[in-house]
Amino acid sequence: MKRFSFWHVVVFLAPAFLIYTVFSAYPLLDTLRQGFYTTSDTGHQSWIGIANYTKLLTDPQWSDGFWNAMKNNVKFFLIHMCIQNPIGLLLAALLSLKGVKGAKAYQTVLFLPTLLSVVIIGFIWQLILSPLWGVSESLMTHVGLGEHFAPWLGQEETALITLALISVWQFVGIPMMLIYASLIAIPEEIIEAAVVEGASPWRIFWTIRLPLILPTLGLVTILTFVGNFNAFDLIYSVKGAIAGPNFSTDILGTYFYRTFFGYQSQVGSPTMGAAVATTMFLIILAGVGVYTFLIQRKLQRHSF
């Protein structure tokens, strides 16, 4: 018996399909297409093959900025991987211990910053780190570190790291919650079996719990990767499109923005912008590909 008609399917799917296609899938494909075109001064577009990409990767006028943004973006990602995710893991591990008083309250507060606008967070930290206000400096003086204070956001060597740490501060709740969820999904009896066999809490963590949550750690990694290589708001709100000082905080998102809209003397170019966007797309796709085909296949999900 055929219990549904062609029209049922069409009516149910059409709205989602149309909006998604027109405003997500088509723009993405069209962006890929425009990457192979160039815009004349009159706004007319013409095919130029991979010239945009060779320019982007090898012509110093473009490539210096691109590779700088790329390098910064990798740094930005590595800081998240080395600080945000281990802290998230630590917090999740502590929260998942049995009988921690106030665990729910801690969770609620630690997760809160992830819900706030990156723009707002950027401004808040800008104020806190501002030498004008002096909050950080006086706090550091209190613990005897007063002379180590510096206007970190303004210095070329420290600006990117500081921004990355602000982002870590904001988003540490996400790995924490994801890892916490997978930790508490491990049946209690498996842990008890290890206890009875004489494994120390430390050993249980490394040999039982951690291997069992590897798939989640993989997921956290890819989410961090996509989020970081697509970041823009924080840098833009704190440092503007120029991503100063001296482009030291420029990442692919801000570079894309400048390429597309132009800045100072440089005129914006939709086609060159499309080429940058396509490159970002390929980087993210590569990351997701590595994740799905290598990591996710290797890491077995355990059904308990």
Partner 1 sequence: MAQVSLKNLKKSYDGKQDVLASINLEIDDGEFVVLVGPSGCGKSTLLRMLSGLEEITSGDLVIDNVRCNDLAPAKRGIAMVFQSYALYPHMNVYKNMAFGLKIHGAGKEEIDRRIKHAAGILKIDHLLHRLPRELSGGQRQRVAIGRAIVREPKLFLFDEPLSNLDAALRVQTRLEIAKLHRDLKATIVYVTHDQVEAMTLGDKIVVMHDGHIQQAGTPLELYQQPANLFVAGFIGSPKMNLIEGVVADAGASGVSVTLAGGQVLRTEVDGSSLKAGDRVTVGIRSEHLWENSNGSEQFTGTVNLVEHLGEANFLYITLSNGQDVVVRGDGEREVAIGDTVSLSAPAASFHVFNHDGKALRRLKPGNMVAAKRVA
Partner 2 sequence: MTKNIGKLSATAFTQLVLALFTLISMFPIVLIIINAFKSRDGIFDNPMALPTSETFSLVGFHKVLDKSPFLHFFENSLIVTVGSLVLILLFAAMAAWALSEYKFKGSRWLAVYLAFGIMVPIRLGTVSILQLAVQFNLVNTLTILVLVYVAQGLPLAIMILSEFMQQIPKELKEAARCDGVGEFKIFFQIILPLIRPAVATVAVFTMVPIWNDLWFPLILAPGEETQTVTLGVQQFIGQYVTDWNAVLASLSLAVAPVLLMYIFASRQLIRGITAGAVK
Per rule CB under 8 A, count of chain residues that contact partner 2: 90
User: Residue 158 has what DSSP assignment?
Assistant: T
Closer of 41 and 189 to partner 1 (Cβ): 189
Integer Cα distance of 160 and 246 in angstroms: 11
Which does residue 87 bind out of partner 2, partner 1, none, counting CB within 5 to 8 angstroms by kind?
partner 2
Query: Rule CB under 8 A: which of 235-274 touch partner 2?
Result: 236-237, 253, 256, 260-261, 270, 273-274
Closer of 146 and 187 to partner 1 (Cβ): 187
* Contact status: 141 vs partner 2 (CB under 8 A): no
Shortest Cβ distance from residue 198 to partner 1 (Å)?
3
Residue from 48, 74, 83, 87 binding partner 2 (CB under 8 A): 87
Residue from 115, 188, 197, 264 binding partner 2 (CB under 8 A): 115
Binding piece for partner 2, criterion CB under 8 A, among 49-57, 61-69, 118-126, 187-195: 118-126
User: Residue 242 has what DSSP assignment?
Assistant: T
DSSP secondary structure string, 269-281?
Answer: -HHHHHHHHHHHH
* Contact status: 200 vs partner 2 (CB under 8 A): no
Which does residue 78 bind out of partner 2, partner 1, none, counting CB within 5 to 8 angstroms by kind?
none
Which does residue 303 bind out of partner 1, partner 2, none, counting CB within 5 to 8 angstroms by kind?
partner 1
Q: Which residues pair with 45 in a beta bridge?
A: 39
Integer Cα distance of 173 and 175 in angstroms: 6
Shortest Cβ distance from residue 129 to partner 2 (Å)?
10
Instruction: Identify which of 25, 82, 70, 110 has the alpha carbon closest to the alpha carbon of residue 224.
Output: 82
167 by Cβ neighbours in 10 Å (0-12 / 13-18 / 19+) ranks as buried
Closer of 22 and 157 to partner 2 (Cβ): 22
Do residues 194 and 204 make contact, with C-beta atoms less than 8 angstroms apart? yes
Residues in contact with partner 1 by CB under 8 A are: 187, 189-190, 192-199, 203, 207-208, 211-212, 300, 302-304
Residue from 158, 191, 233, 290 binding partner 2 (CB under 8 A): 233
Integer Cα distance of 140 and 223 in angstroms: 34
Shortest Cβ distance from residue 211 to partner 1 (Å)?
5
Shortest Cβ distance from residue 227 to partner 2 (Å)?
9
Integer Cα distance of 55 and 169 in angstroms: 37
Instruction: Identify which of 227, 228, 281, 246 has the alpha carbon closest to the alpha carbon of residue 65.
Output: 246
* Contact status: 278 vs partner 2 (CB under 8 A): yes
Closer of 3 and 148 to partner 2 (Cβ): 3
Integer Cα distance of 253 and 244 in angstroms: 14
Q: Which helix (H) or strand (E) holds 302?
A: none
Do residues 92 and 183 make contact, with C-beta atoms less than 8 angstroms apart? yes
* Contact status: 178 vs partner 2 (CB under 8 A): yes
